Homo-oligomer: A and B are copies of this chain.
Amino acid sequence: MSTTITIFNLVRDGLERVEQKMRETPRLVGGGERVPPHPVLNDALEYLVSTGGKRLRPALTLLVSHIFPAEPERVVSLAAAIELLHTATLVHDDLIDGALLRRGHTTLNATWTPAATVLTGDYFFARAADLAAQTKSMQVIRRFSHTLMVICSGEIKQLFDKRAGLNRQGYYDRIYAKTAALFAAATESAAVLGNAPELAVAALREYGEQLGMAFQIVDDVLDFVGEESNMGKPVGGDLQSGLITLPTLWFLEQHQDHELLAKILDNGHQDDASVQEAVNIIRQSGAIEATLDEARQFIRRSQAALEMLSPGVYRDALWELSDFVVERNR
Which 9 pairs across A and B sit closest by C-beta, in order of nearness? A126-B148, A123-B152, A130-B145, A96-B115, A129-B145, A35-B177, A126-B149, A38-B156, A133-B141
Contact with B along A202-222 (1 / 0, CB 8 A): 000100010000000000000
Cα–Cα distance between A141 and B185 once the two chains are bound (Å): 19
Q: In the complex, which of the residues B126, B143, B153, B180 contacts A41, with contact meaning CB atoms closer than 8 Å? A: B153
A46 within 8 A of B: no
Interface window among A9-17, A23-31, A248-256, A257-265: A23-31
B148, A122: Cβ atoms under 8 Å?
Answer: yes
Q: Say yes or no: A34 contacts B176, CB within 8 Å.
A: yes
Write the A82-120 contact mask toward B (1 if CB under 8 angstroms, else 0). 000000010010011000000000000000011110111
Is A30 within 8 A of B143, CB to CB? yes
Complex: A95 Cα to B159 Cα, angstroms: 17
Contact of A141 (CB < 8 Å), options: B141, B147, B157 = B141
Known: A125-B126, A134-B142. 11 other contacts (CB 8 A): A29-B142, A30-B205, A31-B184, A32-B149, A34-B150, A116-B156, A120-B156, A122-B152, A126-B149, A127-B149, A133-B138
Q: By the criterion CB–CB under 8 Å, are A40 and B156 in contact? A: yes
Q: Closest B-chain residue to A124, C-beta based?
A: B152
Q: Is the CB of B160 within 8 A of A116?
A: yes
Q: List 20 A-B contacts (CB under 8 A).
A: A29-B146, A30-B143, A30-B181, A31-B184, A31-B209, A34-B177, A35-B154, A38-B153, A40-B156, A116-B159, A118-B118, A118-B121, A120-B152, A120-B156, A122-B125, A123-B153, A126-B148, A127-B145, A136-B138, A141-B141
Cβ contact within 8 Å between B156 and A29:
no
A188 within 8 A of B: yes
A interface residues with partner B (beta carbon < 8 Å): 26, 28-32, 34-38, 40-41, 89, 92, 95-96, 113-116, 118-123, 125-127, 129-130, 133-134, 136, 138, 141-150, 152-157, 159-160, 173, 176-177, 180-181, 184-185, 188, 205, 209
